[in-house]
Amino acid sequence: MADCDMAGPGDDALQRGLANVRYMFHISPMCAASRSIDKERRRGRGAASRDSGRFEKHSYEDAHDGWDIPEELPPLRTEVSEERPRSLINYVRSPDLPFDRTINPYRGCEHGCIYCFARPSHAYLGLSPGLDFETKLIARPDAPKVLARELRAKRYAPAPLAIGTNTDPYQPIERDRGIMRACLEVLRDFRHPVAIVTKGTLIERDTDILSEMAAQGLARVGISVTTLDADLARRMEPRVPSPARRLATIRRLSAAGIPVRVMASPMVPALTDPELEHILQAGAEAGAVSASWIMLRLPLEVAPLWRAWLEEHYPGRAARVMARLREMHGGQDYSAQWHRRMRGEGTYAQLIAQRFDKAVRRLGLDAEQPPLRSDLFRVPPQAGDQLSLF
C-alpha cells in the first residue's frame, strides 16, 4: 500500500496523488486506521506512521484501488522550512520543573527518538506527531535576534534559561544552520545563565562559548544516555550519536571545565532499567558531576506510536513493558499529574528511585551543584548607544 503526504484540499501532494490514479484516498473522521509506512521507506526513522494530529478534522487513509502496477517510492527525506517568530522565550508555569523559561531554535527533531514526549507539539502545526515530527522540521533563523530583543526589555528579569527541553538544539540540521550557536553568543554577551539538555555531540563545537560561560557560573549541560546497548539505541533513537559517542562528549565537555549531568532518561521498564547503574557509572567515569533520571512518558499521540514500535522491535517484551508503565500511572499508559508524571508512583517506581539514590551516592554524583548565576546579567551596548562615563 503506497503512502502519500498528509495534505488538505488543493495541496500539491494530494493533487499529484489524484492525478496518478494508482491509489485513491479515503477521507475519514479521526481515529482512522494507522497510515503505516513501508520499512524500507522509513529506514533510519523512529516512527512507523504519519497519522494526522489530534486537531485535524479529517485524516487520510491509503486504500488500494485494485491496480497491480508496481511503483517504487523514494525513501523519506528530511524537509526544512523556516519560521519567523515574533517572540522566543516560553515561560513555563509547571510546578514540578526546575526552570521557568525555555527557548526552541527548531520545531520537530530529526533524531527521531520514538519515545519523545515533544512529538504532540507537531499537532499544533497541522502535522503528524509521527514521521512528520522527524522529517518535516522548522528552523527559526531569527531566533538569536528575537532573543536579544527580549533580553533588552526593561522589565526582563534574568533567570536560568533551559534549552533542549522540547526538541534537541543540536540535532543534525544545526550543523548547517548554526541557530543554536548564535543564540549562545547572545546569552554569552548578556551574561545570561543557561542550562542545555542534548543527545547531540555537535555541542562539542560550542565548547569555546560554553567553557567561557561555565567559568563564570553561567552554563551547565545535561547529556542524555538512555542505554549503553548500541543496537537498542539505534532502534529507539535512530539518528542520535551512539551511547559511546555521547559518553565521549561528556568527557570532552568536562575536560573543558563545563559541568555535565548524566541523564539516565527516559528509563524504560523491562527494557532499559536494568542498565541504570551501568549508565550512571559510565557517566561518572566520563567526568559527569551530577545525575538525574526520568521514567518513560507517553503523552497523547506518543502512546500509540510507542506501542507500535514495541510490537515491531520487541514483541516478546511489549506486554511486560506496558504492564509496568500502567502500574505506575493508575492503569493508564500515562498520567499527567504534577509531581507524578516524571517518575510515576507505586512499588516499581519506588524501586527505581531507590536504586538511583543508592548508585549516585556510591558514585559521588549526589553532591548539590551551585545555582547558575543571574547576578552577572548586563545588557551589552548597541551601535549608537551613549557610552557610560563610569
pLDDT by residue (tens digit) across 298-333? 999 999 999 999 999 999 999 999 999 999 999 999
- At 136 the pLDDT is 97
Band the pLDDT of 293: cuts 50, 70, 90.
Answer: very high
**Average pLDDT value for residue range 150-166:** 97
* 273 contacts 321 by C-beta, under 8 angstroms: no
Which is more confidently placed, 56 or 323? 323
CA–CA separation, 378 and 374 (whole Å)? 10
Neighbouring C-alpha atoms within 13 Å toward the C-beta of 271: 31
73, 13 in Cβ contact below 8 A? no
Rg (CA), the chain: 22
List of domains in the chain: 1-77 (no CATH), 79-363 (3.80.30.30)
Grid coordinates representing 294 are 526520568
- With contact defined as beta carbons under 8 Å apart, do 314 and 271 qualify? yes
Residue with cell 551501568: 278
Average pLDDT of the residues in 44-57: 83
Confidence at residue 60, expressed as pLDDT on a 0 to 100 scale: 60
- Region 341-370 average pLDDT: 97
- Taking the CA atoms of residue 143, residue 146, residue 151 and residue 155 in that order, the dihedral angle to the nearest 10 degrees is -140
Tell me what pLDDT residue 25 has.
28
Looking at the predicted structure, is the pLDDT value of residue 62 above 80?
A: no
Cα–Cα distance measured from residue 333 to residue 322, given in angstroms and rounded to the nearest whole number: 7
Are 202 and 195 in contact, with CB atoms under 8 Å apart? no
Residue the block writes with cell 514483541: 315
Helix boundaries (H) for 21-151: 131-135, 143-151
300's CB contacts (< 8 A; 6+ apart) are 54, 120, 123, 129
Give the residue with greater pLDDT, 311 vs 44: 311
pLDDT of 18 reads: 27
Mean pLDDT of 102-107: 98
pLDDT score of 354 more than 70: yes
3-state secondary structure of 347: helix
User: Cβ distance 271 to 322 under 8 Å?
Assistant: no
> Mean pLDDT for the chain?
88
pLDDT for the residue 3: 32
pTM over 0.85: yes
Phi, psi of 348 (to 5 degrees): -65, -45
Q: What does the pLDDT look like over 107-149, one tens digit per residue? A: 999 999 999 999 999 999 999 999 999 999 999 999 999 999 9
* Type of residue numbered 19: A
* Other CB atoms within 10 A of residue 5 CB: 18
pLDDT digit string, tens, across residues 10-36: 333 323 332 332 222 233 333 334 577
Whole-Å CA distances, 170 to 178, 190, 233, 316, 371: 9, 22, 18, 34, 24
Q: Check residue 76 and give its pLDDT.
A: 87
Predicted pLDDT at 359: 98
- Closest to 199 in 3D by CA, of 220, 225, 174, 176: 225
State the DSSP H helix or E strand holding residue 79, giving kind and residue range, or none if neither: strand 79-82
